[in-house]
Structure 1
């Protein structure tokens, strides 16, 4: 049987003898050695809206029209640590979920006026925090100090009276995006909605009775075209 001859200098795998293996991925920068500076950059970003320009991502991938970035592990850990200290997750319970976004913003600003800016509990330099709507159930609030975060979480929540109706708002420690998604799934399991779309104006008065005949008496009925203000 004829044997395949290997060229001189090659091994059985066809690799050149003495050839160097391909370089591995570069070692990640350890940002923990520069934690104080990174934390100050986080404060500038979330408090003042100044975005850092020298925090490089470790890896970038482009697939079609989508671009994804892989974060440096230590940098991400410092960021998460900072967010846990300075962020509160605000959960809108029951009927409060359907308040308009502007009303939800106004609720947080009113609480700031009452608890932070108008209180001797915090320093005179206290400023307004940043609000990020996370969906119909929740928003994230970035406070200007750890003391404000600790106070809101210790309060646990508040009942907001609007037009003789009370809306329940809950304060929790910072939640990740995955936790927000899980919260929404839990809320959806507890509530079954029937949506009536493109309802003619001349049948508005009969819509709730019609839905009751279809699915039984509803626990509540809300028009999404109106908002509390």
Structure 2
């Protein structure tokens, strides 16, 4: 509630401060950090979207998680007047952290564990587990990153959209899954496209495709992969949050 409403503790110890040029670093007080971790463990659920659910848009993932919440609220008179929602934070393509408004909601979701929720003709599988710290999320993602070979073609121009699938297969390897395209945030007239490939394609992953058009024009298409830098603020490739 304080997070949503912008209510700030004004007398709290901000931690030990270190000034480094035009940057400032805070090292939190251990006891306060432990209190925060305890609060998160009580109210936060790790939500894992399985199979087809991994590739849903964030607003659809929000709706799926709120279905959990609604399932607990219905029939519980103590929350009938509470219309506030929990907050979902995407941690990766198939993983999110859900901060519930009440401990009871988080406990209910963890008790439910695994469910299938039907939207239209499709059934989506969702797992609910105890809260995971950032380090645990990194450990969870690492095996998948090692197993799945993928590239994202950035700012694909319309001129090459027809050929990009065949070009990826010829240059890198067999495509096993095509993800929905995303509008590039920096150039809304262009799209980014992700392709998952067979493991054998890993040695062939490249950084750039150069395409010579029939009329002599040359297009540069950059490719991102699991080794590329990625910003944790804007979620774009080839730079970090320190550069954003």
TM-score relative to the length of structure 1 = 0.65
1:104: Cα distance to partner?
A: 2.1
Higher RCO structure (Cα 8 Å, ≥6 apart) = 1
The residue aligned with 2:72 is 116
2:114 aligned with 1:171: no
Alpha-carbon separation, structure 2, partners of 1:179 and 1:66: 28
1:157 to 114, 138, 149: 114
Q: Is the 8 A contact 1:92 1:137 kept in 2?
A: yes
1:96: Cα distance to partner?
A: 2.9
1:143: Cα distance to partner?
A: 1.3
**Change over 3 Å in CA distance of 1:225–1:77 after alignment to 2:** closer
C-alpha distance after superposition, 1:140-177 (max 9, x if no partner)? 22212222111101111333444544433221111111
The residue aligned with 1:80 is 37
Q: Which has the larger radius of gyration?
A: 1
Alpha-carbon separation, structure 2, partners of 1:88 and 1:174: 5
SS at match of 1:76: helix
Alpha-carbon separation, structure 1, partners of 2:148 and 2:110: 26
1:125: Cα distance to partner?
A: 4.0
How many residues align structurally?
Answer: 181
Alpha-carbon separation, structure 2, partners of 1:68 and 1:149: 33
Structure 2: gaps of 5 or more residues:
184-244
1:22-171 pair list within 5 angstroms: 45-46=2-3, 49-112=6-69, 114-117=70-73, 119-121=74-76, 123=78, 124-126=80-82, 127-162=84-119, 164-171=121-128
Q: Is the 8 A contact 1:61 1:69 kept in 2?
A: yes
Which has the larger displacement, 62-71 or 162-171? 162-171
Alpha-carbon separation, structure 1, partners of 2:77 and 2:45: 17
The residue aligned with 2:147 is 190
SS at match of 2:61: helix
TM-score relative to the length of structure 2 = 0.62
Alpha-carbon separation, structure 2, partners of 1:159 and 1:137: 15
